[in-house]
Amino acid sequence: MKLRSVPARMGLTWMGHGLRACARQPMGFIGLLGMVACAAMVTLGLPVLGPFVVIAVMPVIWMAFMLASRRAIEGQRVTPSVLIEPLRAQEDITKVWMPLGGAYLLSVLLIKMLADLLGPGPEVLADAFESAKDLSEALNAPAVQTDLLWRLALTMPVSLLFWHTPALVFWARVPLLKSLFFSAMACWHNIGAFILYGLSWTAAVAALGLAGELFRMASPEPILSNILMAIGGLWLASAFYASLYFTVVDCFEPASPTPTTDAPPDAAGEA
């Protein structure tokens, strides 16, 4: 396993790869994201365990989108079967996804505990939302913004730890603790690219929101603007998840000159 160092401009390249992969099969990626969202809403309705299950299966979802991107660039159809492909072997479930999902769940719970401890606290946030006239006013409240900043700051290191980990444990069969270490090192070695990558997607979301507001002001039918915004949001989110594949394979040297079915092909040079 050898890390690659890529220039900062690769952050834009990764975003472009994700947009083009999604553009090749937009209905496939949007349908995949829609299925995940529907399944998550149903699971969240389960008493007590629902939210924990949704968090724990997120690494599997990321891996499924990486598999979907690989299918798209190879000219294959993106189908819902990619959602269960990481779980096709019982050994993968017990030795790969259960430990990884458990580790990710514990990390998210730790973030919540630290954010509640270091931030304004749940009671202050509840008061801010109750006293606000609408959601916009609540989000502009100082306590809410402070809480969001704390959660963002605490989430970033966890993202570095888990960014590449699903692919490393599934494709390269690297043990979980080593995968977490390699993931953090890969992100750190390429921090410039990841910063530009994050800023680019943030700008894309802001541009979509601005375009939606302008269309809403110009259109006599607000419902049409809402529909277009929903479609645009789904497509942009699908493209983001499609781009995960490229951020992973560009940060590591391929294990062998000729990739196998269980290992990702080298993404260098792919458009």
Report the distance separating Cα 207 and Cα 13, nearest Å: 19
* Ramachandran class of 121: left when φ > 0, alpha when ψ lies in -120 to 50, beta otherwise: left
Alpha helices in 10-97 (DSSP H): 10-24, 26-44, 50-56, 58-73, 90-92
Q: What is the pLDDT along the chain (271 residues), one digit of tens a residue?
A: 688 999 999 999 999 999 999 999 999 999 999 999 999 999 998 888 999 999 999 999 999 999 999 999 999 999 988 999 998 877 888 889 999 999 999 999 999 899 888 877 777 767 766 776 666 666 677 777 787 888 888 888 898 899 999 999 999 899 999 999 999 999 999 999 999 999 999 999 999 888 887 877 777 777 777 788 888 889 999 999 999 999 999 999 865 433 333 444 444 444 3
Contacts of 123 by beta carbon, 8 Å cutoff, 6+ apart: none
The residue assigned the tokens 């570095």 is: 160
pTM: 0.85
Report the distance separating Cα 30 and Cα 182, nearest Å: 31
